[in-house]
Amino acid sequence: MTQQEEKEEQLPSVSTSRNTAKIPKKLTLVPLIFLIYFEVAGGPYGEETAVQAAGPLIALLGFLIFPFIWCAPEALITAELSTAYPGNGGFVLWAERAFGPFMGSLMGTWKFLSSVINIASFPVLSIDYIQKLFPVFSSGWPRHVAIVGSTLALSFLNYTGLTIVGYTAVLLALVSLFPFVLLSVIAIPNIKPHRWLSLGQKGVSRDWNLYFNTLFWNLNYWDNVSTLAGEVDKPQKTLPLALLVSVIFTWVSYIIPLFAVIGAVSVDQSQWETGFLAQAAEIIAGKWLKIWMEVGAVLSSVGLFEAQLSSSAYQVLGMAEIGIIPRFFGVRSKWFNTPWLGILISMVIVLGVSCMEFNDIISSANLLYSLGMLLEFASFLWLRWKSPNLKRPFRIPLKLPLLVVMCLVPSGFLVLIMVIATKTVYLINGVMTLAGIGFFYFIKLCKTKKWVEFSDGRLEEEVEDEGRGGAVETSRDGSFPVG
């Protein structure tokens, strides 16, 4: 290791940029747990199609096993890197620190577009449940008006601040999950365990594309909380604990209702479409529980929308703070201190893709997310190798070879998701990736010509270290510190 690298590793861990240094931290443990929960799951709504695609047993195995091979590694990596670099921007900051500004920008493109495309699925999912009570919303202009109106209203709620969003998430989780507790308890006398072992109906072929995308869509985005790290109170302690509780909470909330309904209800496999859990609630307990569950689905979609919109908006803020995009993208509301421009940009893209079919939405989001996650795993391993002595308040207790193995297993799944994607999804993602590359070089031109103002990319602690006479190593083009 060179003398310069040793100096680099002795730098204090990143907290926030100068733009946010005086902003008080607002997110405490409880609202953070539920924000993470809604960034990932929001309840078992949407897991039904795994049964439709592959049958009861394979669906159960997926939700039993997948959290350990996917959720746990992603949550652990998020905990380590978010506490080592607890600033807004999260995974964008990690990729930039590992591989330079081009990879940081590309990571930002993939993850941001993945997130906002994913956000577009929640108003659609919400209306899918509402139409079961009010068929007028099943098609035509009433459906489009409902989707657009809900998107605008929920975006305004996000604008009012993370504190409101965080505690709203707590309330939404309690109200939307309680009917599943009742459903699981009431179903117990009707459960026939042999139904859990069914491989599906004869003559029904398995749709592996739908199956894996359903698992992936329901159990990813653990790293989204990293873009809010600069807004968390005592992130070095709060983030790892919040992630641990959220992983356990999410796993339980998916698997228990799935076991209960599969064991208690015998229907054609084709009926396990989005919204079937509400139908099963009527079969098991009556129409009152069905209505409660459909209302809960709408509330869950609200929580999912709010949590992920917050992450997307603060990602834009973080990218502006480290100089990957112009400084004005980091502007905050004078009234609520929220990144209003990031919220606005996210909302416009959400409206643009909300006309897509639900399955196309989640497939497109999943492929972009897969590309970003492969880069995230590479960034994590590179930073462990390059900067082993970097201060990590939370550190995964494994040596580098075992960490490689830990990352290879979920990486294999990411490759599978990419291989089984449709031509339409490939086209959408290819165009977006090329646009992201073009965007990086356009931003580079803007810096060269000084058309707009950029943050210098130096973080508060690095500025203080430089003021004390310390050295700050910069990245390849001299624009960003490497830490």
Structure confidence at residue 200 (pLDDT): 86
> Is 461 within the bounds of a domain?
no
- CA geometry: angle 213, 214, 215, nearest 5 deg: 90
Burial 385-418 (b: 16+ CB within 10 A, else e): eebeebebbbebeeeeeebeebbeebbebbeebb
Q: What is the CATH number of the domain that holds 240?
A: 1.20.1740.10
In a domain, 469, yes or no: no
Is residue 383 included in any domain, yes or no?
yes
Task: Give CB contacts under 8 A, 24+ apart, made by 458-464.
Answer: 458/18, 459/14, 459/15, 459/16, 459/17, 459/18, 459/87, 459/322, 459/483, 460/15, 460/16, 460/17, 460/18, 460/21, 461/11, 461/12, 461/13, 461/14, 461/15, 462/11, 463/18
For residue 475, the model assigns a pLDDT of: 38
Residue 482: inside a domain, yes or no? no
What pLDDT score does 375 carry?
Answer: 96
Within-domain flag for 474: no
52 in a domain, yes or no? yes
Look at residue 159 in the predicted model and tell me its pLDDT: 92
Q: Rounded to 5 degrees, what are φ and ψ at 474?
A: -105, 165
**Quick check: is 13 in a domain?**
no
| pLDDT value at residue 471 | 38
End-to-end alpha carbon distance in the chain: 14
d(CA 152, CA 129): 19
How many independent structural domains does the chain possess? 1
Residue 474, helix vs strand vs coil = strand
pLDDT of residue 476: 36
Residues of the chain whose pLDDT is less than 70? 1-25, 355-363, 457-483
Summarised one tens digit per residue, pLDDT across range 203-257 is 788 998 889 888 988 888 899 999 988 898 888 899 999 999 999 999 999 999 9
Domain that holds residue 185: 20-390+400-447
Q: Residue 292 falls within a domain, yes or no? A: yes
How high is the pLDDT of residue 384? 96
d(CA 220, CA 66): 10
- Residue 356: per-residue pLDDT: 64
Q: How much is the pLDDT for 30? A: 92
